[in-house]
Structure 1
Amino acid sequence: MTDIQQQITALTERLHHLNYQYYQRDISEVPDQEFDHMLAELARLEKEHPEFAHPNSPTQRVGGTITKQFPTAEHRYPMLSLGNTYSEADLREFDERVRRGLEGADVTYVCELKFDGVAMSLTYQDGQLTQGVTRGDGTRGDVVTNNVRTIKNLPLHLRPATNQPKEFEVRGEIFMPLPVFAELNTEREANGEQLLANPRNAASGALKLQDSALVAARRLRFYAYSYLTSGRGSFPTHSASLEAMQSWGLPVSDTWRRCHSLEEVLAFVHEWDKQRFTLPVATDGIVIKVDDFQQQEILGFTAKSPRWAIAYKYPAEAARTRLNSIQYQVGRTGAVTPVALLDPVPLAGTVVKRASVHNANQIAALDLRLGDMVFVEKGGEIIPKITGVDLSARPADSQPIKYPTECPACGTPLIRPEGEAHFRCPNDRGCPPQQKARLEHFVSRKAMNIDGLGAETVGRFFDLGLVTDAASLYDLPAKATELAQLDRMGEKSVQRLLTGLEQSKQVPFDRVLFGLGIRYVGETVAEKLAAHYRTMDALSAASATELAAVPEVGGVIAESAAAWFQEPENQAMIRGLQAAGLQMALTGEAPQAVSDRLAGLTFVLSGVFEQYSREDLQQLIQQHGGKVTGSISKKLSYLVAGDKMGPAKREKATELKVPIISEADLLAMLPTDTKTPEEEEASDTPTLLTADLLPAPDSPDSSTPESKPGTGLGQQGSLF
């Protein structure tokens, strides 16, 4: 083994250990900065010596793999469904059926929380994760291994153990933690985007993304709930297999319990009816399984589900209370959001006083009126929302709610852009809630992450006139004496703030761009724009048409960004940030030109391509002197048509007599030595495509499927 290979192996094993300690045992052995440094060093070594990279390297956590379409795989053991019940009487009948089937033998159950996510089948060989497959139709599912590898609490490499088979399968649930879901919806609402319905749908949608780097940004998590292996297994009970999986490093929720009677099962059900709302993951019920694998074999299956397991689902909680008033909140982008103020009412483990009404359309659809008795539920058991009105209790003289025509904060007449649900305040420069919210966004963890300058503090500084925009934050060091005299500040707090401001000057360009709070420019779009233009000067000079040509930047985003950069106040703020020393460019070398074969030609890319991703094709065109745009006009040279291209672009190109070519036609226009991604991977010459352009890492209702007797599972019968 060479020195480089030893370094890569040692770093890989060390990082796997640190991940296990952090995500399974809540132990942080090293500072985040040291961990990030080791991860970056490993990524560098793997890039320089890809032949020594491990398939399950910790660098896979950050994603970056592009999958044009997901292949499917047949489940070795079918992922079947459970029977559901909402009734305790049905649980008693289930217990009676089990005992009859076992001819009166003693039975022990395992009760587990039913997490509301996406069922996943994982295969491990020699302790290494080799495949991740979705439930699909229960017989076949999508292979999403690259996306699964980005889930940070899911071990890519298991801790060795004598009772660990050479090959086995793990079933479990992939979910989006509630705080992540709430944060994602808050960001989408601020950007005027449609809110995600619930964490389950959010997790399912994330796993279908073609770019695994985007999946990594969704911060999904995993809980294992079943172990399967061929032949005769090592464990006599399901509970023993759960304990073994946990000892191997797999995340198993510690909420499960062995119950020796139906009464203990019912006590577990009642206990978690309220307690489940304290967990950081959505739950919708309890799964009850016979613990003993031999007894599972005896009980067997019906045509659709196992006789030895059942799911008890909690009914959706609703409450009835009075609507007292509507409060209108102004967000960072000027969107005016109505919030219902209610008589306090207990609901799903909390006391609800406020509920979302979303927009004027929902107020009209529900015909809400002040004084109404309304029904409130928790959407996805998280966000309280009004679902209906008790019309029998409506006062005879009630009047429909009139949506305000002026901003509740600054009095500016509201506008409602065509096709949008929200009314907006256009006074972005003089509306205090918008100004304050932009500052709070700029200093937030996912943007500049300025230590000592949280949302409350920056809002207070704004109210006192100490700051006005992002650039003015970097004038605070000159006001240190004044800051130290404020209540609840002091010299230590001020020093921490000043240190945080100084450290923020090293935050990468893409996060600076995200922190500016441009409407529709979220984390992912900011990364794409930064990678494409590389400097703030180049980006701010780009037209809307040029911006729309960047992968994953559509016309709406491009128009919004171009308009933002044209505002004199924004230009002045950028100059202030540049003068303060913030990162206004990407570090490292930009992709080099290869030839001028496509000089003077302009292309539009549409659809899904066979040999290259759309981003790779754009880079390829640019490397050979061509330009890529997002709209079709008479000046366009070619429309490059991939699979599933929309008919509108084809029709417009035909109407304007723009030549329509295929991916193969485009490649034929390039020098004959241009390599495909597969050829590049096999070549000794470093590729100039996606692999080199990616930045180095810096720091349906899922049911519980079961197994079937006689399938060769031996005693490892559980398919969940």
Structure 2
Amino acid sequence: MNAEEQILQLRNELRAHNHNYYVLDNPTISDFEFDKKLKQLQDLEQAHPEYDDVNSPTHRVGGAVTKNFETIVHEHRMYSLDNSYSKEDLEDWEARVKKLVDGDVSYTCELKYDGASISLTYENGQLLKAVTRGDGIQGDDVTTNIKTINSVPLQLKGDYPPRFDIRGEIVLPWEGFHAMNEEREALGLELYRNPRNTASGSLKLQDSAAVAKRPLQCLLYNLTGNNLGVATQFDSLQKARDWGFKVPDEAKLAYNIDEVLEYINHWDVARHDLPYETDGVVIKVNSLQQQEELGYTAKAPRWAMAYKFKAEQVSTRLREITYQVGRTGAITPVANLEPVELAGTTVKRASLHNADQIEKLDIREGDEVFVEKGGEIIPKIIAVDLTKRPENSQPTQYIAECPECGTPLVREEGDAKHFCPNDTGCPPQIVGRIQHYISRKAMDIEGLGGETVALLVSENLIYNYADLYELTVEQLLPLERMAQKSAENLVNGVLASTQIPFERVLFALGIRYVGETVAKKLAKHYKSINAIISATEEELIAVDEIGGRIAESVVAFFAKAENISIINRLKSYGVQLEISAEKLANQSDTLEGKTFVVSGVFEMPRNELKKLIEDNGGKVSSSISAKTSYIVAGDKMGPSKLEKAQKLGVAIISEKDFIMMIA
């Protein structure tokens, strides 16, 4: 046997042993024998570098150092999940699902592991890249670190697709977490707070050898891509196991919400015996075709729901109520608490939301309060222990003036929050608006972070986001922790933002109530900032899904002379304030005023079909109604949808008919 054959044989042997040990928990050789074979492979690869392979088992020990983690756009967006907390929530969700799809609906129930979300991309059976969730649209490339986790297969086996993504959680088992803390305690170091944060922090360590020493595991649960060869979520979990992934065995198929609740009730108790941290159950519509029909909202899939276990509660003393000012001028009262341990973290602050919430619970400084983590993430006060209230306690008087600039606060009718109207002179609003402008989902300016924005404002170098485009390297160099390279990166990052498309610029402007989705609708309808500036409230309300409050806010924003001045400056710097000619060339008004429902299986990807409808002026709806103009029907269109369409007299067209319609 020559050297190449020996190397290939050893790699295959070690991969099999690795899978048995870390994925199946069923080792077939001793650690000593494994280490001996690994050393033999290392020696052979060192002697024959021409046979090097980035996915060799020898690369799992780490050693590569990553100074800067590259930001990568996800090929398939990583959505968040909607949460539920009761049987009624789940029944409401089931009713919505059954309204939108045909036939019986079954569900896959899976435990919701509390770790760091990850997306792994495989090509021809080999790990190509590993990207953190980030903001769901883009994340950080942590491939080098992920390769050190033994439960992540570097080479798949079986009948895997040519290319696909698989999503999961990087977790730190309790046993490993406690062992790490015992070691830190012996060294006199500060202890890690909880497994989730420790796992998440591990992914961004610069030295992959340090990551390799941590007992991290990767639990996978969702295949993403085209032509994956599976029809249901439950089958996809077994397929992933067959290919070599560590997929938890606790998943169960349920045929109704009662069976889902049985699963939830069992694991609400049994979860405490698991080796990992878990905070709930994820329920998914089992049929992948039904998932495709249900689609997504702006933030989450309609076909999945997270059920959160009841949050842990503790009591502590409320020391003081302070007030924060947001970028829109919204005032948020904050409870400053005696530090208390809650769900693995030390809690010192909790949001009080607004004046109504304070009045409703009669919350006062000095009170003993009950605190829980809403969804086990954000601490909130849920009640006051009146038996421990001090005798000299006084009701809370909500502030009347801005704590930052002293301007009298306003509260509009129907609004829960108070606002500071001094949007051009209130420091947190100035900083907050610029921080929003540079954020990932907006202008995504590389080399510029929130802290740097605050520093630039405090040093009087900028007063609004248009000022960013006049910054020079010479102005930046005297700033604290600003070197030549970082100053150049910041200036170049600002310059590069002039290529960001119009709908994201519109979102970046920070107009109240204009989020990502509204910005896209306005950009698509009006096509340029000038057209939006000229629009009246009535004209804006006529745009699909734009209500009176949004219209009023948009008109008010552009009625201010200082905002128009900033817009004109942005134009002069080359910022995209209209849809590009290239993008306009791919759009038309052919389907203007028409509403489509897409149902069934098609030759082209469903998302592409929906995009063609929208690019040509049409609207995509998820359910059939009297307002539906056409149903684009593919294979396996549900009989109840067909019956409803015929009853309402809605025209049914094929994929080919639709293509001819827009040709």
Q: TM-score by structure 2 length? A: 0.53
Amino acid of the structure 2 residue aligned with 1:386: I
Deviations 1:474-526 (A, max 9, x none): 0102xx21310111001111011011111111111111111100011111111
- Paired with 2:596 and 2:658, the residues of 1 have a C-alpha distance of 22
> Aligned to 2:481, which of 483, 488, 498?
488
Q: How far 1:534 moved relative to its partner?
A: 1.2
- 1:406 aligned partner: 401
- 2:100 aligned partner: 70
> Aligned to 1:322, which of 304, 314, 317?
317
- Paired with 2:408 and 2:501, the residues of 1 have a C-alpha distance of 38
Amino acid of the structure 2 residue aligned with 1:71: V
Structure 1 residues 114, 531: CA separation in 2 closer, same or farther (over 3 Å shift)? closer
- 1:283 aligned partner: 279
- 2:653 aligned partner: 678
Structure 1 residues 362, 241: CA separation in 2 closer, same or farther (over 3 Å shift)? closer
Q: How far 1:418 moved relative to its partner?
A: 0.5
Query: Is residue 518 of structure 1 aligned with residue 518 of structure 2?
Result: no
Deviations 1:79-113 (A, max 9, x none): 599xxxxxxxxxxxxxxxxxxxxxxxxxxxxxx84
- Paired with 1:35 and 1:333, the residues of 2 have a C-alpha distance of 29
Query: Is residue 642 of structure 1 aligned with residue 627 of structure 2?
Result: yes
Structure 1 residues 69, 456: CA separation in 2 closer, same or farther (over 3 Å shift)? same
Q: How far 1:609 moved relative to its partner?
A: 7.5
Q: How far 1:114 moved relative to its partner?
A: 4.6
> Aligned to 2:417, which of 411, 416, 422?
422
Amino acid of the structure 1 residue aligned with 2:102: T
* Contact 2:156–2:244, Cα closer than 8 Å, also in 1: no
- Paired with 1:33 and 1:548, the residues of 2 have a C-alpha distance of 38
Q: How far 1:222 moved relative to its partner?
A: 10
- 1:366 aligned partner: 361
* Contact 2:158–2:243, Cα closer than 8 Å, also in 1: no
- Paired with 1:513 and 1:356, the residues of 2 have a C-alpha distance of 29
Secondary structure of 2:568's counterpart equals helix
Q: How far 1:416 moved relative to its partner?
A: 0.8
Structure 1 residues 419, 684: CA separation in 2 closer, same or farther (over 3 Å shift)? closer
Query: Is residue 462 of structure 1 aligned with residue 462 of structure 2?
Result: no
Instruction: Note the residue ranges of structure 2 that are not aligned, 5 or more in a row.
Output: 1-54, 80-96, 116-124, 126-136, 140-154, 172-217, 224-233, 252-266, 284-306, 600-608, 620-624, 629-644
- Paired with 1:240 and 1:59, the residues of 2 have a C-alpha distance of 22
- 1:549 aligned partner: 542
- Paired with 2:72 and 2:337, the residues of 1 have a C-alpha distance of 48
- Paired with 2:525 and 2:509, the residues of 1 have a C-alpha distance of 18
Secondary structure of 1:424's counterpart equals coil
* Contact 2:311–2:375, Cα closer than 8 Å, also in 1: no
- 1:453 aligned partner: 448
Amino acid of the structure 2 residue aligned with 1:510: E
Q: How far 1:616 moved relative to its partner?
A: 10
- Paired with 1:434 and 1:499, the residues of 2 have a C-alpha distance of 26
Structure 1 residues 35, 344: CA separation in 2 closer, same or farther (over 3 Å shift)? closer
Q: How far 1:557 moved relative to its partner?
A: 0.9
- 2:430 aligned partner: 435
Structure 1 residues 342, 491: CA separation in 2 closer, same or farther (over 3 Å shift)? same
- Paired with 2:329 and 2:515, the residues of 1 have a C-alpha distance of 16
* Contact 1:409–1:433, Cα closer than 8 Å, also in 2: yes
Amino acid of the structure 2 residue aligned with 1:320: S
Deviations 1:511-561 (A, max 9, x none): 111110001111111111111111111122111211222222222111111
> Aligned to 2:567, which of 560, 571, 574?
574
- Paired with 1:679 and 1:266, the residues of 2 have a C-alpha distance of 47
* Contact 1:115–1:173, Cα closer than 8 Å, also in 2: no
Secondary structure of 1:374's counterpart equals strand
Deviations 1:545-584 (A, max 9, x none): 1122222222211111121112111000001111111111
Secondary structure of 1:74's counterpart equals coil
* Correspondences of 1:11-160 after superposition (within 5 Å): 70-75=100-105, 79=107, 113-115=111-113
- Paired with 1:515 and 1:336, the residues of 2 have a C-alpha distance of 21
* Correspondences of 1:473-484 after superposition (within 5 Å): 473-477=468-472, 480-484=473-477
> Aligned to 1:505, which of 489, 498, 501?
498
Secondary structure of 1:73's counterpart equals coil
- 1:531 aligned partner: 524
Structure 1 residues 496, 271: CA separation in 2 closer, same or farther (over 3 Å shift)? farther
Amino acid of the structure 2 residue aligned with 1:531: K
* Contact 1:336–1:422, Cα closer than 8 Å, also in 2: yes
Structure 1 residues 254, 383: CA separation in 2 closer, same or farther (over 3 Å shift)? farther
Deviations 1:55-75 (A, max 9, x none): xxx7999xxxxx996223325
Q: RMSD over aligned Cα, in angstroms?
A: 5.3
Question: Percent identity between the aligned chains?
Answer: 43
Structure 1 residues 151, 468: CA separation in 2 closer, same or farther (over 3 Å shift)? closer
Question: Which structure exhibits the higher relative contact order, with contacts defined as CA atoms closer than 8 Å and separated by 6 or more residues?
Answer: 1
Secondary structure of 1:530's counterpart equals helix
* Correspondences of 1:238-387 after superposition (within 5 Å): 245-248=240-243, 252=247, 276=277, 283-284=279-280, 316-387=311-382
Structure 1 residues 593, 355: CA separation in 2 closer, same or farther (over 3 Å shift)? closer
Q: How far 1:245 moved relative to its partner?
A: 2.2
- Paired with 1:35 and 1:549, the residues of 2 have a C-alpha distance of 34
* Contact 1:551–1:614, Cα closer than 8 Å, also in 2: no
- 2:189 aligned partner: none
Structure 1 residues 356, 450: CA separation in 2 closer, same or farther (over 3 Å shift)? same
- Paired with 2:525 and 2:443, the residues of 1 have a C-alpha distance of 21
Tell me the matched-pair count.
414
Structure 1 residues 241, 541: CA separation in 2 closer, same or farther (over 3 Å shift)? closer
* Contact 1:429–1:435, Cα closer than 8 Å, also in 2: yes
Structure 1 residues 345, 412: CA separation in 2 closer, same or farther (over 3 Å shift)? same
Structure 1 residues 455, 254: CA separation in 2 closer, same or farther (over 3 Å shift)? farther
- Paired with 1:34 and 1:496, the residues of 2 have a C-alpha distance of 18
- Paired with 1:594 and 1:317, the residues of 2 have a C-alpha distance of 55
- Paired with 2:451 and 2:383, the residues of 1 have a C-alpha distance of 35
Q: TM-score by structure 1 length? A: 0.49
* Contact 2:219–2:248, Cα closer than 8 Å, also in 1: no
Q: How far 1:618 moved relative to its partner?
A: 10
- Paired with 2:449 and 2:661, the residues of 1 have a C-alpha distance of 44
* Contact 1:285–1:313, Cα closer than 8 Å, also in 2: yes
* Contact 1:609–1:642, Cα closer than 8 Å, also in 2: no
- Paired with 1:458 and 1:161, the residues of 2 have a C-alpha distance of 49
Secondary structure of 1:364's counterpart equals helix
- Paired with 2:423 and 2:375, the residues of 1 have a C-alpha distance of 33
Amino acid of the structure 1 residue aligned with 2:352: V
Structure 1 residues 68, 325: CA separation in 2 closer, same or farther (over 3 Å shift)? same
- 1:224 aligned partner: 221
Instruction: Note the residue ranges of structure 1 that are not aligned, 5 or more in a row.
Output: 1-20, 40-57, 62-66, 82-111, 118-126, 128-149, 153-158, 166-171, 178-220, 227-238, 257-264, 277-281, 288-311, 629-639, 644-662, 668-674, 689-720
* Contact 1:611–1:676, Cα closer than 8 Å, also in 2: no
* Contact 1:337–1:358, Cα closer than 8 Å, also in 2: yes
* Contact 1:551–1:615, Cα closer than 8 Å, also in 2: no
Deviations 1:349-373 (A, max 9, x none): 0000001111111101110111000
Amino acid of the structure 2 residue aligned with 1:224: Y
Secondary structure of 1:445's counterpart equals coil
* Contact 1:328–1:336, Cα closer than 8 Å, also in 2: yes
- Paired with 1:413 and 1:432, the residues of 2 have a C-alpha distance of 15
Secondary structure of 1:435's counterpart equals helix
Structure 1 residues 358, 314: CA separation in 2 closer, same or farther (over 3 Å shift)? closer
* Correspondences of 1:634-713 after superposition (within 5 Å): 642=627, 678=653, 681-682=656-657, 685=660, 687=662
Q: How far 1:330 moved relative to its partner?
A: 0.6
Deviations 1:259-303 (A, max 9, x none): xxxxxx999955769x62xxxxx613899xxxxxxxxxxxxxxxx
